[in-house]
Amino acid sequence: MGNWLSHFTTKTNYVKKILAALLLVVIPASASAADLPQRFYVTGSGFGHGVGLSQMGARGLALEGKSAPEILNYFFPGTAISSDIPLGDIKVNIAHATTYVTLSNSTGTISLNRPDGTSATTIAVGSTLKFAAVTKVISPTVATPKQKSIVIPALSGWNVTWDTGSVVTVNNGGATTKLSYGQVNLKSVANKIELTATMRLNDQYVYGISEMSSSWPDAAIQSQAIASRTYGLSRMGSIRKECDCNIYNTKFDQNYVGFSKESEAKYGALWKAAVDATSGQVLTYQGRAINVYFSSSTGGTTQKAADVWGTDFPYLTNVPDPWSLDVVLNPAYAHWLRVISQKDMAKAFGLPDVVSVRIDSRTVSNSALSLTATSSMGTTAQLLVGVFKTKLLIPASWFEITN
């Protein structure tokens, strides 16, 4: 009996030792999970890609008394302003890959025309012209306030014109654009509607560009007008099949808002005057229009195009930009903070969790190029800074990351 108890006690102590050893293994793993950072702090400066014209820099230089040509020559070294390059009409996409879009007018009449130029119908003030995508054709309907809706036989494309001085409102799923110039074309592409507006590049298109506050000094907004006209010219070489356009109306090209820009209370007239004051002017390098880029602000130095997109241009290089770091001029983006949760950081890198994030390399302007995240299991994943910014809504590439 005594021997059995002794043997049992020995075995029990042995099992306890094994369990204790196992606990020593498990506890550190649990502690490691508990020590995962719950959030990451991204602190930085600037907003946008930082290539070419710094809009905050243009504002700062204008306040110092510099002219539009001086501002542009500073941010695009070696370029010149030319007024002898022919400027034609530009085709701007207003509604992309949509299935339903409407046009309405507050003054004047709208004419709906077939592709051959013959008139289909005239739309009176207060009526709405509706377009619906039906397989490979576009079906128009006229909705009037007092009469029954009129359905017009569908065709693969339509043209819409209006009286001079009228303002036509395009409504695409709640997004509205007011147009006063040119004409509208609708085309069926991949069973969807592509609605474009064709107008003069020189003034009518630039009147509608909303990329800079019209309240800023004249020299700043004139430099933006020249840059925007040049950007449009650089996109006019061909028609993009997917949008039936030269250029989109979004930030992926330039933010075109149409008549709303020049009709802004108090300041709209200033923007229109800046466009008129620079009529015909574009930026050139060795006699040819340049690839112009601009963004809100930088981390203190502009970027080389080669560092951001891999293609080098001598006039898209590093230029000091202290105005972007001025908290009076640039209160929102001179210094900013973004807080990223553990869940969002892990999702961005495609890891189960993230213990740390490091910046692998930087440009000469100190902007990040790529980042590597490490999980609690030691697995790593890398992202280029452009992907990282897009996934986590980071304003610019000039930043630091801490837990």
Answer yes or no: do 237 and 384 share one domain. Answer: no
Choosing from 208, 240, 262, the residue where a domain stops is 262
For the whole model, what pTM was predicted? 0.88
In a domain, 205, yes or no: yes
Residue 275 burial (10 A CB sphere; 0-12, 13-18, 19+): buried
Answer yes or no: do 105 and 251 share one domain. Answer: yes
Answer yes or no: do 128 and 244 share one domain. Answer: yes
In a domain, 281, yes or no: no
Answer yes or no: do 110 and 223 share one domain. Answer: yes
Answer yes or no: do 113 and 221 share one domain. Answer: yes
In a domain, 256, yes or no: yes
| pLDDT score recorded for residue 33 | 59
Nearest to 395 by CA among 298, 253, 256: 298
In a domain, 253, yes or no: yes
Answer yes or no: do 116 and 216 share one domain. Answer: yes
Residue with tokens 């210094």, as numbered in its chain: 335
Would you say 59 and 220 are in contact if contact means Cβ atoms under 8 Å apart? yes
In a domain, 196, yes or no: yes
Answer yes or no: do 224 and 98 share one domain. Answer: yes
Say whether 330 sits in a helix, a strand or coil: coil
Would you say 368 and 397 are in contact if contact means Cβ atoms under 8 Å apart? yes
In a domain, 75, yes or no: no
Answer yes or no: do 43 and 93 share one domain. Answer: no
Q: At a CB cut-off of 8 Å and minimum separation 6, what does 238 contact?
A: 246
In a domain, 288, yes or no: no
Choosing from 262, 295, 320, the residue where a domain stops is 262
Answer yes or no: do 254 and 337 share one domain. Answer: no
Answer yes or no: do 334 and 257 share one domain. Answer: no
- Per-residue model confidence as pLDDT tens for the chain (403 residues): 444 334 434 444 543 443 344 333 333 343 355 589 999 999 999 999 999 999 999 999 999 999 999 999 999 999 999 999 999 999 999 999 999 999 998 888 899 999 988 988 988 888 899 999 999 999 999 998 777 788 999 999 999 999 998 999 999 999 999 999 999 999 999 999 999 999 999 999 999 999 999 999 999 999 999 999 999 999 998 999 999 999 999 988 999 999 999 999 999 999 999 999 999 999 999 999 999 999 999 999 999 999 999 999 999 999 999 999 999 999 999 999 999 999 999 999 999 999 999 999 999 999 999 999 999 999 999 999 999 999 999 999 999 999 8
Answer yes or no: do 43 and 106 share one domain. Answer: no
What dihedral angle (degrees, nearest 10) is formed by the CA atoms of 280, 285, 289, 291? -130
CA distance 8 to 11: 5
Q: How many domains are contained in the chain?
A: 2
What is the DSSP-derived secondary structure letter of residue 304?
P
Say whether 68 sits in a helix, a strand or coil: helix
CA distance 138 to 195: 11
Answer yes or no: do 201 and 148 share one domain. Answer: yes
User: By residue range, what is the domain housing residue 195?
Assistant: 89-262
CA distance 27 to 35: 12
Choosing from 262, 286, 302, the residue where a domain stops is 262
In a domain, 291, yes or no: no
